[in-house]
């Protein structure tokens, strides 16, 4: 295995699914500008997700439509004219 291949700045980070407010704490080296107070009282960097395993149709078995930033409306309006 190559030396110095992996980043050294791993730390605990909170990932939050914005469609259903599910959040989990794990190690990551992703850069963030926001932070959140976790259940243990400590403050951790926050990464906002549009979809996670708790809201993805493959894992939930339900067809749940998550519209972010009006993409569906843009699609419909674009092809509505034809």
pLDDT at position 62: 67
Q: How many domains does the chain have?
A: 1
Could you list the pLDDT tens digit for every one of the 82 residues in the chain?
688 888 888 999 999 988 888 899 999 999 999 999 999 999 999 999 887 777 766 656 666 555 666 777 777 777 876 6
Within a domain: 6? no
φ, ψ (nearest 5 deg) of residue 76: -60, -45
Within a domain: 2? no
Residue range(s) defining the domain that contains residue 57: 11-80
Burial (0-12, 13-18, 19+ Cβ within 10 Å), 23: buried
Within a domain: 58? yes
pLDDT at position 73: 75
Within a domain: 53? yes
* CA pair distance 36, 45, nearest whole angstrom: 6
What are the counts of helices (DSSP H) followed by strands (DSSP E) for the chain? Answer: 2, 4
């Amino acid at each position: 295995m190559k030396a110095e291949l992996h980043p050294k700045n791993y730390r605990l980070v909170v990932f939050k699914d914005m469609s259903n407010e599910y959040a989990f704490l794990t190690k990551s080296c992703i850069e963030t500008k926001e932070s959140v107070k976790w259940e243990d009282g400590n403050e951790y960097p926050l990464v906002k997700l549009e979809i996670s395993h708790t809201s993805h149709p493959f894992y939930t078995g339900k067809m749940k439509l998550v519209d972010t930033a009006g993409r569906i409306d843009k699609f419909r309006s674009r092809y509505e004219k034809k």
